[in-house]
Structure 1
């Protein structure tokens, strides 16, 4: 079924928006909403599609007769021409990125090697990378850098990242449960000098086996997971003004501030200082 461009498909009761790289979307405006614990998302019908990515907290939305409960790290696609709004007042610790866009007019040639389908509700496999794409889009708008082609390709990247759900990384239920325990251990001890051998010893598993299961299930190594966990903590600390960059590094498990800066740039695409400035601007960015 066409829907003002692109195609809506129904697979096992799930609606997906299918697009082709040969006919990219048109980017409109975006922003970062940061809740103060008051108000509810307005009820409305708009002419554009909207992609929402919850970066912190929980968000309850409805579209027509369906209600969606979104957790941190989840996405929601809202369809053009459908009535949507908040299902309950905003939580105080909620923040989410949003962007409006339009698929190309007419039917897109989907089904080939250069097409993909994004489900209405998704848990992206790489939420950190999706956050970076949103921040780059907002930073470009804040600096007055606007490129029709660049904006279009960036939104296509966002939608593609949303199409890569965590479940696609592989692994059976037992493997996913073990990977979840590993991630929980990492998040609990990310400020400590931990390595795969430490985790294996604490959990009573062979180090090589633990690494294979985690990589097969999540698509990343345990070392990468440790880096990402520490960087998530670092980004939360950078959003405040109480610490300088060296202090942030030390409080997020990095003993070498220079290594922290290199790793941050490798994963985030910008320096810690640039991230801090970008976050400060994004609070008021409603383009």
Structure 2
């Protein structure tokens, strides 16, 4: 059985059952079972190996997988302690599998297995859902609307970028890797270019062609991604998080954080900390 697409009409009603954030303690397998709903899995950290019927899937951070109702599934390998993934159970009341509306123009096609374009945006949608679920403020209409937004985000087509020659691609990738590894140090566009050994204007041009961001934007995005993780997963103060992200000035960190998330670090932590967490 090959991996499939979940096809939805945008008028098809969804009904969400529940969701959560799974945090592995290691030494356990995903249970083998058959459920009566769809399940969406979104890996935040680590790797997850799953099977469904005769199909195997290897998921890494940023990958999503939809499991089908009525199909047996389970884990292929032992879950490691660093594994974190969001999950959501939902029902499709009317799908194209059971209707004759095949030629409808408003169709959302979602691959069963997918690397998402914006994992940071998808995580925010999951956390919005889970926050309201845990506080008891999640109403059915809101839950189902958030589920459709999540599925829409998963179903987005990959961004098409200009093709670079092999040398330019290698240079841009080197800069990207350098930023990912050294985001917590004193980092600027010029220091990245100096470390890679290229003119800053040239490097900035080919980097934007490949990744759609300036070098400064890439540095900030990497730092903000790590800041969000540390705010939610640790008890570090805002000042400590700022320092771990390479900011010597906490006030400047707060300004950049607010620019990226539209809220202060403190409000972000308060808003998204309460989650339905399950562990093994």
Q: TM-score, normalised by structure 1?
A: 0.83
Q: Are residue 276 (structure 1) and residue 265 (structure 2) matched?
A: no
* Structure 2: gaps (5+ residues): none
Alignment match, 2:222: 229
Alignment match, 1:185: 178
Question: 1:24: Cα distance to partner?
Answer: 4.5
Alignment match, 1:59: 48
Total equivalences in the alignment: 273
Alignment match, 1:136: 128
**Preserved CA contact (<8 Å) 1:35 1:95:** yes
Alignment match, 2:159: 168
Alignment match, 1:96: 85
Q: Bigger shift: 85-94 or 115-124?
A: 115-124
Partners in 1 of 2:12 and 2:80 — Cα distance? 38
Partners in 1 of 2:43 and 2:270 — Cα distance? 21
- Could you list the per-position Cα deviations for residues 106-156 of structure 1 after superposition, in whole angstroms to 9, with x for gaps in the alignment? 437577764332211111111111111111110011121122222222112
Q: Bigger shift: 61-70 or 112-121?
A: 112-121
Partners in 2 of 1:199 and 1:51 — Cα distance? 38
Q: Are residue 40 (structure 1) and residue 33 (structure 2) matched?
A: no
Partners in 1 of 2:196 and 2:129 — Cα distance? 41
Specify which of 61, 76, 79 is matched with residue 87 of structure 1.
76
Instruction: Summarize the Cα distance change of 1:105–1:22 in structure 2 as closer, same or farther, 3 Å threshold.
Output: closer
- Partner of 1:168: helix, strand, or coil? coil
* Structure 1: gaps (5+ residues): 1-9
Partners in 1 of 2:79 and 2:88 — Cα distance? 18
- Could you list the per-position Cα deviations for residues 60-96 of structure 1 after superposition, in whole angstroms to 9, with x for gaps in the alignment? 1111111111111211111121111111221111110
Instruction: Summarize the Cα distance change of 1:105–1:170 in structure 2 as closer, same or farther, 3 Å threshold.
Output: same
> What pairs with 1:151-166 in structure 2 (closer than 5 Å)?
151-164=143-156
